[in-house]
Amino acid sequence: MKINDELLNKAHEYLDQWSQRDEYWFDLAIMLNAGDTEMAADHMLGTGAVDSTNQSLDPEHAKIEAVIEQLGKAFRKLSRKTQLKRYDEVFKTCHLYSCDDCNHVSFVNNGNEKLYQKELKECWSCSSKNIEHKVWGDK
């Protein structure tokens, strides 16, 4: 199927609903905010959350999920070098907060780490205070 701007926008909006489900900071939200719908589609394919053949989907959602599958497969066909370049571009100023106890990771856009200092001092998943902070690309 040929993906036009309208279908791309519908897929982006559909994926965005996944990132709005709760208050955690997700890598998916970072991808969508950066406008990389292909990368986000690939990410959702990897989680198994998208399946256009699911019989319980209404036809419109099945069509959008088919578009998402196509976008994700297009991203996967890119060379590893191109994929990594796009990841670096999308996450270049992203702060990563990882819990050493449960491995939960929060992805926080540059600037938000200052707004949510209190919230980022403990894990949103298990409430541990054993948190590590890095900026994407730091060694």
Domain count, the chain: 2
- My answer on whether 15 and 75 are in the same domain is yes
Residues 74 and 9 in one domain: yes
Same-domain check for residues 118 and 77: no
Q: For residue 96, give the nearest of 112, 80, 115, 75 by alpha carbon.
A: 112
Asked if residue 127 and residue 66 are part of one domain, the reply reads no
Could you tell me if 42 and 15 lie in one domain? Answer: yes
Question: CB–CB of 69/5 below 8 Å?
Answer: no
What would the pLDDT profile of 115-132 be if each residue is shown by its tens digit? Answer: 888 888 999 889 999 999
**pLDDT by residue (tens digit) across 86-103?**
999 999 989 999 999 999
- Domain region containing 47: 5-88
51 plus 118 within the same structural domain = no
| pTM assigned to the model | 0.85
Instruction: Report whether pLDDT(57) > 80.
Output: yes
Res 63: pLDDT: 94
